[in-house]
Amino acid sequence: MSQAALTAPTELRYVQYHSSKEKIYLSAIRQLISDDLSEPYSIYVYRYFLYQWGDLCFMALDEQDNLIGVVISKLEPHRGGPMRGYIAMLAVRQGYRGKGIATELVRKTLDVMIERDADEIALETEVTNTAAMKLYERLGFLRSKRLHRYYLNGNSAFRFMLLVKEHPAAYEYDDEAQAQLPIRPPSA
Amino acid sequence: MADLSKLSIAPDQRDLRQQHQSIAPLQFRKKRMMTVDITSEFFVAASALDTGQLVKDEHFTLFEAVGALEIMDPKMDSGLLPSGESVEHDYDVLKELLPGEVIGIMDQILCFEMTWHMGHPLSQSLFTSAYIDRLLWPDPKTLEQARFERDKTPGPGNELLHLVLRAYCLGLIKTCDFVRRSIMSEQYYEEEDFVVSLYHRKLLDDFGLADISMKLEDAMAYVARKTDLMDLPFREALLNRLEFRKMLLSAVQLDGFLDHQRARLWEGCLELIPMLSQTNKLGLPSEKSFSIKIQRKLASSVPPRPIVKISFDEALARLSGICQNGRDAYRVLESHSGTHLMTFVLTYQSRKPQPLVYIRCLLQSLVFSEMRVLGTMTLKQLLYDDFEELVLPADVLVDPTNCDIEAPQDPRFQISKRMDAFATKAANAEGVDIELRVYTKEEPIREVSAPNKVMWSFPLSSWAYYYKLRQMEWTVQMGFELEVYQVDELAGMYWYLHHLASTRLQHIERIRTFSTHRLKRIAKPSFKQKTSFRRSFSFLDFATLEASAIQSFAEGLSCLFSFLAYLGLIPAPYHPLPYSTPALRYSLRVRPFLSVSLPEVPSYPEFASRVSLHTPERDAGDPSHRTPLTKIETNDQASSILDVADQALKAARKDWESISKAKAETARCVGCEDWWRTSVKNVVRACITANIMIATSKKAISNAASKDVRDILKVELVKSNELYHAWWMVPRISAK
Ligand SMILES: CC(C)(COP(=O)(O)OP(=O)(O)OC[C@H]1O[C@@H](n2cnc3c(N)ncnc32)[C@H](O)[C@@H]1OP(=O)(O)O)[C@@H](O)C(=O)NCCC(=O)NCCS
């Protein structure tokens, strides 16, 4: 598909996370994600995802096992309706960007979600984050709405959605009412 | 939770922890609380868990996880002080101030006031000022207590501080109180647009406007009198600021008066702003008088956050915006029917830059408060008037005397009962329509050819359906403005807009048929009846023109984007992508409309056939892979799409030009005529540009005798804020 995906460095390994790996990788994951945040997440946020949905988290590691990129997600019924996957965090180390690493990480998490019967997949990204928007759009996500002043810094977000299945029953629930807390605060 | 090192109680920070602990028990003792050290038990319990293992009940949601704080993390722990730093902000608020310093402080807190209006919390703006802090804490029981010396007996002298700066601060705080209360009494985007939190402080809400105005007047009298104290420019600068404060305070007061007097106060504020701007340079900075440390005294769980700073120029620009919009909001009172009011609200709210929350709430309160619309009409009057204008001219259903009838056997009694039910619940319009026609003795329309086929007018359902269609059009159009649609969706979304507008056109025709039918059956219409019918037909005529203008422009753009996709100059509509199919993306896009049973959302196959989704796949955007387009292929297919676009856009231009010439009364824009005209003029410009783009494309095709058209044409999509009108995304097409 994309140019980026084709030129992904071959020496990287893509590894699924597991709680047994917390000691080795968690602080590196936190560091990588925090680099682009103005407000840090407490450790609870990471454990909230990793403890419950470790299998949806993928890491890109180089030959020395340094963490180059990570994606963290969850999958659960959305307000009693469809099974909704949610990509919570995604980051690739500076200097390694634009090589298709994030695309590969996202594809891996999507594949597991779909295998685990996801009906739809959602995420948010800042309206100015061109790289992230391009990445998700190329995979088939649509912008479903603009979230006004979603982040602490006052910036707006787009909610991106990917429908995996047609599921008329899910149309009944109200996607709009509940304000969700931004999982990804703004970059500084 | 295991792995306590992650909780940041690292050995090197032990001394800080002790410092922290030594304060805490003292505070607890005051409240007669018993504290027990559970550190060792906690360690034992925690050691039973593996690293990364989470103890969490099912009510611990992502929301809580995000809200959780880590003790001893400087960005999360509000009690953590870097060693050597003091808790208290040590600034002497009683020190004598130079006139320049007073001006500097006044201008600084004005900046804070504006950042608060812009959506930042008071804790990061006004409440970081030592002066404001001293006036508001401890909570003053009388206005006299709200002074800088607090318990001390005020000494003589230092009037610039005790009289002048204090009056200014009191005026500003009271202004914030009015602003906050008026916002809280209306609908707004909580949290996102405005932070109401006061952190357990009060904004002088117990004290009245008159007392605080008096303080401002006393201060003005003092400055005017003390000719020996300072140079004229300083005196004038101070007087202007005090006068401005007094004026703004009166402009925002909450006395429920809806009249143009208030607009004059806003105008008065506006006139003073240039003076504030010119004399800002006399101010001396007073950086030390505000500090984020004051946040620690507020009832808040988060660590001190940075002060949000804006320049004085930006603050004045915001302030001018508030004053202008405040003044203009009162023009809504000129709207004399629901249709005019609707145009006003839409036009006013879409002005750029967008009016701030306070202003939007001000408009809401003018439109509707204390059960009155625009201070005069009841909701029922407004609704009935709108029914009459759209679907029921001079009809017995909207006769206001119906509700005076008390005899149940009188049909008007029954009508009144049912109309009320509809107006309050807005539900089951069709059921009410069917019941009502018994009492109105409605004569259905019968076709001459098939007399058994009867058509009923269904007035209330018609009215509701009209607005439903209108809202769906707006929803789709907002998507263009907010850049929600991707490039490959534009052809489809403009087709959908075209589809909605043409559905509305048919619906307007249906309404017109029934009104005409009813008018014919009135033997000798009275003057009043004639006037009512004339007004309704004028509305229907204008709505027809407007819907047709939207329909054609949307059709033209849909075809233009299809043409560009056909050539491979932009991605094909809903082209296949790795994790998605075109049909799934279409389903997602129309999802918000699926619960609206009528009009039905077009099925995917129908939609696809309309949007030229049969566009051959040509690896859009990737010139090395594409198959060459022969001239013949281009002429036959692309040209025919272009021809349809051409016709539609020519019609659109004609329609939009007619709209731009409509009288304010016809266009239902009394009160906002100037803004409305500007907006229509921009649509006309967009439409003319679209026509030029078609001409450019046609020329390129006819010149492309042997060449591939794609090597001749260049397309650029224009960002929403650079368009003539955000709803009409005319692309820039040029010959290479
Ligand atoms: C977003 C992020 C994860 C992308 O990582 P990545 O490995 O560079 O992504 P990929 O290489 O897979 O794809 C990115 C695409 O965006 C493009 N891109 C990158 N920066 C861009 C820019 N400023 N403008 C336009 N396109 C851009 C890349 O060229 C690439 O597209 P291509 O394949 O057509 O060349 C990375 O930039 C990042 O870590 N950012 C900070 C954290 C963040 O924003 N996370 C996303 C939150 S939802």
Q: Read off the pLDDT of residues B453-512 as tens digits, 9 standing for 90 and up.
A: 899 999 999 999 999 999 999 999 999 999 999 999 999 999 999 999 999 999 999 999
pLDDT greater than 60 at residue B308: yes
* pLDDT at position B499: 97
Nearest CA to ligand 1 atom 32: A4
Cα atoms in the 13 Å half-sphere on the side-chain side of B319: 27
Tokens of A10: 């071959």
Taking only residues 129 to 148 of chain A, the set having a beta carbon closer than 8 angstroms to any beta carbon of chain B reads: 137-146, 148
Strands B372-373, B368-369: pairing kind: antiparallel
Ligand 1 pocket, mutate which of A97, A104, A124 (most atoms under 8 A from CB) = A97
pLDDT greater than 60 at residue B669: yes
- Residues B621/A137, Cβ–Cβ less than 8 Å: no
* pLDDT at position A81: 87
Report helix, strand or coil for B584. helix
Give Cα separations from B471 to B468, B477, B504, B599, B667 (angstroms). 5, 10, 11, 12, 18
* pLDDT at position B31: 58
Alpha helices in B254-295 (DSSP H): 260-279
Interchain CB contact of A111 with B (< 8 Å) = no
Tokens of B220: 């003005």
Q: Which atom of ligand 1 is nearest to the CA of A103?
A: 12
**CA gap B229, B100 in Å, rounded:** 12
Cis, bond preceding B353 (omega within 30 deg of 0) = yes
Tell which residue, B351, B347, B295, has the closest CA to residue B322: B351
Cβ count near B217 (within 10 Å):
14
Residue A20 lies in a domain: yes
Q: How confident is the model at residue B7 (pLDDT cuts 50, 70, 90)?
A: very low
Ramachandran angles phi, psi of B290, nearest 5°: -135, 150
Query: Can you tell me the mean pLDDT for B135-156?
Result: 89
* Lowest-confidence segment of A21-30, A39-48, B20-29, B185-194 by average pLDDT: B20-29
Q: For chain A, give the longest Cα–Cα distance.
A: 50
For ligand 1, whether the C-beta of A100 sits within 6 Å is: yes
Alpha helices in B445-526 (DSSP H): 459-481, 490-520
Query: Can you tell me the mean pLDDT for B350-357?
Result: 90
Q: Could you say which of A45, A149, A162 has the minimum Cβ distance to residue B193?
A: A149
| Residue carrying structure tokens 């963490």 | A67
Residue A82 lies in a domain: yes
Q: Read off the pLDDT of residues A118-152 as tens digits, 9 standing for 90 and up.
A: 999 999 999 999 999 999 999 999 999 999 888 87
Residue A102 lies in a domain: yes
Q: Do A44 and B589 touch (CB under 8 A)?
A: no
* Lowest-confidence segment of A117-131, B26-40, B191-205, B514-528 by average pLDDT: B26-40
Q: For a pLDDT cut of 90, what percent of chain B falls above it? A: 68
pLDDT greater than 50 at residue A185: no
Q: Do B68 and A52 touch (CB under 8 A)?
A: no
- Residues B690/B553, Cβ–Cβ less than 8 Å: yes
**CA gap B631, B652 in Å, rounded:** 29
Q: Read off the pLDDT of residues B593-644 as tens digits, 9 standing for 90 and up.
A: 988 888 999 999 999 888 865 454 444 444 444 455 555 555 567 788 899 9
Residue positions counted in chain B = 736
Mean pLDDT of the residues in chain A: 85
Interface test with A, best of B188, B193, B579, B624 (most A CBs within 10 A): B579
Mapped to the 3 state alphabet, what secondary structure does B69-92 carry?
CCCCCCCCCCCCCCCCCCCCCCCC
CB proximity list for B331: less than 8 A, separation 6 or greater: B263, B344, B671, B672
Q: Which residues pair with A74 in a beta bridge?
A: A86
* pLDDT at position A8: 52
* Burial track B24-56 (b if 16+ CB lie within 10 A, e otherwise): eeeeeeeeeeeeeeeeeeeeeeeeeeeebebeb
- Domain with residue A70: its CATH number is 3.40.630.30
Report helix, strand or coil for B21. helix
CB proximity list for A73: less than 8 A, separation 6 or greater: A49, A53, A56, A57, A85, A86, A87, A88, A109, A113
pLDDT greater than 70 at residue A177: no
Phi-psi region of A65 (alpha: psi -120 to 50; beta: other; left: phi over 0): left
pLDDT greater than 80 at residue B180: yes
Q: Do A22 and B193 touch (CB under 8 A)?
A: no
Q: How confident is the model at residue B567 (pLDDT cuts 50, 70, 90)?
A: confident
pLDDT greater than 90 at residue B75: no
Q: Measure the CA angle with vertex B5, ends B2 and B8; round to 5°.
A: 120
Interface test with B, best of A143, A145, A152, A184 (most B CBs within 10 A): A143
Tell which residue, A130, A139, A134, A129, has the closest CA to residue A163: A139
Tell which residue, A137, A131, A87, has the closest CA to residue A108: A87
Q: Which residues of B touch A181 (CB under 8 A)?
A: 62-63, 66-67
Measured between CA atoms, how close is A11 to chain B, in angstroms?
Answer: 24
- Residues B687/B645, Cβ–Cβ less than 8 Å: no
Measured between CA atoms, how close is B419 to chain A, in angstroms?
Answer: 30
Distance A32 CA to ligand 1 centre (A): 15
- Residues B670/B340, Cβ–Cβ less than 8 Å: yes
Q: What DSSP element (H or E) covers A50?
A: helix A43-53
Task: Give CA B665 to chain center in angstroms.
Answer: 27
**CA gap B520, A181 in Å, rounded:** 59
Q: Contacts for A53-58 with beta carbons within 8 Å, 24 or more apart? A: A54/A16, A54/A17, A54/A18, A54/A19, A55/A16, A55/A17, A55/A18, A55/A112, A56/A85, A56/A109, A56/A112, A56/A113, A57/A16, A57/A17, A57/A109, A58/A14, A58/A15, A58/A16, A58/A17, A58/A105, A58/A108, A58/A109
Residue A169 lies in a domain: no
Cα atoms in the 13 Å half-sphere on the side-chain side of B56: 19
Kindly state the DSSP code that residue B572 receives in the 8-state scheme. P
Ligand 1 pocket, mutate which of A90, A137, A161 (most atoms under 8 A from CB) = A90
**CA gap B7, B70 in Å, rounded:** 6
Q: Read off the pLDDT of residues B426-449 as tens digits, 9 standing for 90 and up.
A: 668 889 999 999 999 999 999 888
Tokens of B188: 């707004």
Measured between CA atoms, how close is A10 to chain B, in angstroms?
Answer: 21
**CA gap B203, B175 in Å, rounded:** 9
Q: How confident is the model at residue B703 (pLDDT cuts 50, 70, 90)?
A: confident
Q: Do B579 and A39 touch (CB under 8 A)?
A: no
Cβ count near B661 (within 10 Å):
10
Q: Measure the CA angle with vertex B238, ends B232 and B243; round to 5°.
A: 120
Tell which residue, B659, B330, B597, has the closest CA to residue B464: B597
Residue A143 lies in a domain: yes
Task: Give CA B60 to chain center in angstroms.
Answer: 33
Q: How confident is the model at residue B701 (pLDDT cuts 50, 70, 90)?
A: confident
Kindly state the DSSP code that residue B190 receives in the 8-state scheme. B
- The DSSP annotation for B287-350 comes to GGGB-GGGGGGSS-SSPP-PPP---HHHHHHHHHHHHHHHHHHGGGGG--SHHHHHHHHHHHHT
Interchain CB contact of A91 with B (< 8 Å) = no
Cβ count near B460 (within 10 Å):
24
Measured between CA atoms, how close is B222 to chain A, in angstroms?
Answer: 42
Q: Do A43 and B6 touch (CB under 8 A)?
A: yes
**CA gap B292, B295 in Å, rounded:** 6
- The DSSP annotation for B86-126 comes to -SS----TTS---HHHHHHHHHHHHHHHHHHHTT--GGGTG
Q: How confident is the model at residue B73 (pLDDT cuts 50, 70, 90)?
A: confident
Residue A108 lies in a domain: yes
pLDDT greater than 70 at residue A5: no
Query: Can you tell me the mean pLDDT for B294-321?
Result: 90
pLDDT greater than 90 at residue B589: yes
| Residue carrying structure tokens 């292929």 | B633
Interchain CB contact of A26 with B (< 8 Å) = yes
Q: How confident is the model at residue B50 (pLDDT cuts 50, 70, 90)?
A: confident
* pLDDT at position B662: 98
Give Cα separations from B574 to B491, B509, B602 (angstroms). 10, 34, 16
Q: Which residue in chain B has the smallest CA separation from A114?
A: B579
Domain tally, chain A: 1
Q: Do A45 and B65 touch (CB under 8 A)?
A: yes
Residue A182 lies in a domain: no
* pLDDT at position B622: 45
| Residue carrying structure tokens 């190329």 | A138
Comparison of pLDDT for B453 and B22, the residue scoring more: B453
Residue A5 lies in a domain: no
**CA gap B344, B669 in Å, rounded:** 6
**CA gap A188, B12 in Å, rounded:** 28
Q: How confident is the model at residue B190 (pLDDT cuts 50, 70, 90)?
A: low
**CA gap B677, B213 in Å, rounded:** 41
For ligand 1, whether the C-beta of A98 sits within 6 Å is: yes
Q: How many CB pairs under 8 A join A and B?
A: 125
Distance A72 CA to ligand 1 centre (A): 16
Q: Which residue in chain A has the smallest CA separation from B576?
A: A140
In which domain, by residue range, is A73 found? 10-163
- Residues B503/B600, Cβ–Cβ less than 8 Å: no
pLDDT greater than 60 at residue B200: yes
**CA gap B290, B708 in Å, rounded:** 67
pLDDT greater than 50 at residue B109: yes
Tell which residue, A125, A59, A122, has the closest CA to residue A85: A122
* Lowest-confidence segment of A18-27, A116-125, B27-36, B190-199 by average pLDDT: B27-36
Q: Which residues pair with A160 in a beta bridge?
A: A123, A143
**CA gap B213, B205 in Å, rounded:** 14
**CA gap B365, B352 in Å, rounded:** 21
Q: Measure the CA angle with vertex B331, ends B328 and B332; round to 5°.
A: 115
Query: Can you tell me the mean pLDDT for B195-210?
Result: 95
Tell which residue, B509, B500, B539, B502, has the closest CA to residue B390: B539
- The DSSP annotation for B9-42 comes to --GGGHHHHHHHHHHHHHHHHHTT------HHHH
Kindly state the DSSP code that residue A170 receives in the 8-state scheme. G
Interchain CB contact of A149 with B (< 8 Å) = yes
